[in-house]
């Protein structure tokens, strides 16, 4: 694995200038009534992208094909919300964003693994992801399963081997990442989704979203706090409320976009949930109801963020608004 990106400090002037450069999305926003906020901390996404591009996983010819499948899915066009959140959180607590790049990359590797497995014929059976044929379509199911497994293991190798910090803090972050992706997190949420075992009603649906998507997004914030030694609950709690609300908001909007989005913008098939008879915020509350709940969730997330960082955290605010108004 090449780690040369992790030692590099970001160019502050470039970062500062880029933070005022906003990308405009001239498409209808999913949440009518919420003013579109086209800003996204693009300079952080570029930093993440550069770091991911430099990662190599195979040191022998016999496994180069596996590495190819892993990098095929990892390096396709994506928003990088989880690693960008990690870098923005570092910035919000006065740390150098580049100092958490190994953790940030690990988050994206794990997210990519979850997408590869989510798309498999035995799961959502999708053929398009990140604007490309899904991993199993391009490399076969056997290799796609292994590519997902490989990304998961390499994520922890990266975090435990390359992330600087007090050993106890790195271990705490790794523990949180494992918990967020295990049975009490993403994989448990995926089980609720495929087995239909989420309790009925609004609370049950929220629980499904908290686990399936919310925990990994929340971990993108919380692992940075743990790395910085912020183990005390009174410091973590306001961030925790912000981060877990953000995760739920993200998945409510994903449910809305599955109905209202367009395949070229999403880079994945539109209408997958309906085809599979999935339980979503749209099936439970209708499109307008889901939009109302997303607006409420966005307000709660912004409110919690204001309490977590009373002095303001511009990039985390931008990400929160982007998640609510995104069209892809």
Contacting positions for ligand IPE (CB under 6 A): 78-79, 81, 111, 114-115, 118, 124, 130, 186, 190, 212-213, 251, 254, 258, 268, 272
* Contact between 47 and Mg ion per CB under 5 A: no
Partner in contact with 78, chosen from ligand IPE, Mg ion, none, beta carbon below 5 to 8 Å by kind: ligand IPE
Which 8-state DSSP code applies to residue 128?
E
CA dihedral 169, 3, 53, 157 (to 10 degrees): -50
Which of Mg ion, ligand IPE, none does 251 bind, CB closer than 5 to 8 A by kind? ligand IPE
> Judged by CB, which is closer to ligand IPE: 97, or 214?
214
Cα–Cα distance measured from residue 267 to residue 278, given in angstroms and rounded to the nearest whole number: 20
E strand intervals along the chain: 128-129, 132-133
Q: Is 162 in the site for Mg ion (CB under 5 A)?
A: no
Query: Site for Mg ion (CB under 5 A): which residue of 47, 108, 124, 210?
Result: 124
Nearest distance, CB of residue 77 and Mg ion, angstroms = 17
136 Cβ contact list (under 8 Å, min separation 6): 116, 119, 120, 121, 143, 144, 145
At closest approach, how far in Å is the CB of 280 from Mg ion? 8
Query: Please, what's the b/e burial string for 167-204 (b: 16 or more CB within 10 A of its CB; e: otherwise)?
Result: eebbebbbebbeebbeeebbbbbbbbbeeeebeeeeee
Range in contact with Mg ion (rule: CB under 5 A) among 31-39, 49-57, 58-66, 115-123: 115-123
Give me the least distance between CB of 307 and ligand IPE, in Å please: 26
Among 104, 254, 305, 319, contact with Mg ion (rule: CB under 5 A): 254
**Quick one: CA torsion of 258, 263, 269, 270, rounded to 10 degrees?**
30
Is 245 an interacting residue with respect to Mg ion (CB under 5 A)?
no
Given the rule CB under 5 A, which residues bind Mg ion? 118, 124, 254, 258
């Amino acid at each position: 694995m090449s780690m040369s990106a992790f030692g590099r400090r970001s160019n502050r002037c470039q970062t500062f200038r880029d933070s005022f450069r906003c990308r405009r999305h001239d498409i209808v926003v999913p949440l009518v009534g919420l003013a579109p906020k086209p800003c996204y901390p693009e300079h952080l996404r570029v930093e993440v992208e550069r770091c991911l591009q430099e990662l190599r996983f195979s040191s022998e010819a016999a496994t180069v094909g596996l590495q190819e499948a892993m990098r095929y899915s990892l390096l396709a066009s994506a928003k990088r919300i989880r690693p960008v959140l990690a870098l923005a959180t570092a910035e919000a607590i006065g740390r150098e964003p580049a100092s958490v790049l190994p953790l940030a990359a690990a988050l994206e590797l794990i997210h990519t693994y979850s997408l590869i497995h989510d798309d498999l014929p035995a799961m959502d059976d999708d053929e398009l992801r990140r604007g490309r044929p899904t991993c199993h379509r391009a490399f076969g199911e056997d290799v796609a399963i292994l590519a997902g497994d490989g990304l998961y293991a390499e994520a922890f190798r990266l975090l435990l081997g390359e992330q600087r910090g007090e050993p106890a803090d790195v271990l705490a972050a790794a523990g949180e990442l494992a918990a967020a992706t295990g049975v009490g997190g993403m994989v448990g949420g995926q089980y609720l989704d495929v087995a239909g075992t989420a309790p009925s009603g609004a609370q049950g649906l929220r629980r499904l979203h908290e686990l399936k998507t919310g925990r990994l997004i929340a971990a993108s914030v919380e692992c940075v706090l743990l790395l910085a030694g912020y183990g005390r609950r009174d410091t973590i709690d306001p961030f925790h409320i912000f981060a877990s609300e953000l995760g739920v908001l993200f998945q409510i909007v994903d449910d809305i976009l599955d109905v209202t989005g367009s395949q070229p913008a999403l880079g994945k098939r539109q209408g997958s949930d309906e085809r599979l008879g999935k339980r979503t915020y749209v099936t439970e509350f209708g499109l307008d109801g889901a939009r109302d709940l997303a607006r409420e969730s966005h307000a709660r997330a912004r409110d919690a963020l204001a309490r977590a960082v009373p002095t303001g955290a511009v990039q985390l605010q931008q990400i929160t608004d982007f998640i609510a108004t995104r069209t892809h």
